[in-house]
Amino acid sequence: MYKNVVRALMVGRFQPFHNGHLSLVQQIFEECDELIIAIGSAQFNYIYKDPFTAGERILMIHASLVDSGIDLSKCYIIPVVNDENNARWFAHLKSMVPHFNVLYSGNEFVMTITSESTIKQPNFVNKNEYNGTNIRKLMVTSRNWKKLVPNAVFLIIEKINGVKRVRTLFESDSDPQRW
């Protein structure tokens, strides 16, 4: 049954999971049989750059996949705590997820430290709008961010009062590089 399965890996912080991520999931399923979604920086939460917990991000991703009709029997959603030593980060990541054949990444740093793996650069959809930094900034400035995330993510953020959390974290974050 698993003999010829092509399994892909997608890594991100998903702060929050947005329509660009969902588009990438759909793209991967056009090319691969199964998908591992590794939630990086799983240990970080309640800071402006990483406002949502790993559990909240799992819920966002799971609900978005269900609403999109993705077969969850072909998906693995795995939170991964960062290894701060970049030289061993990829080995740590590989030890935390099932075997995969291809890594989807447009991150130049990730491509550099994972050179022995098969890497496929995704076709990003409107990357300037569909990115967590932009979405969090729109939340802080009371502008329309809802159209950038799947409805399931919007509902979860509303339920946990996530916009208020992001605004509070923005106000309390002393890092001038937050944007």
pLDDT of amino acid 175: 58
pLDDT of amino acid 122: 82
What pLDDT, in 10s, does the model give residues 87-142? 888 889 999 999 999 999 877 777 777 766 688 888 888 888 999 999 999 999 99
What pLDDT, in 10s, does the model give residues 51-71? 999 999 999 999 999 999 999
Burial (0-12, 13-18, 19+ Cβ within 10 Å), 15: buried
The domain locations on the chain are 7-172
What pLDDT, in 10s, does the model give residues 163-174? 999 999 999 875
H or E stretch including 136? Answer: helix 132-140
Q: How many CB atoms lie within 10 A of CB 154?
A: 17
Taking the C-alpha atoms of residue 168 and residue 142, their distance in angstroms, rounded to an integer, is 13
Structural fold of domain 7-172: Rossmann fold (3.40.50)
pLDDT of amino acid 124: 80
- What is the average pLDDT value for the chain, to the nearest integer? 91
pLDDT of amino acid 174: 59
37: helix, coil or strand? strand
H or E stretch including 44? Answer: none
pLDDT of amino acid 115: 66
Nearest to 78 by CA among 37, 29, 21, 24: 37
**CA distances for 160 relative to 52, 54, 74, 155, angstroms:** 10, 14, 28, 9
Nearest to 171 by CA among 136, 143, 146, 145: 136
Q: How many CB atoms lie within 10 A of CB 109?
A: 10
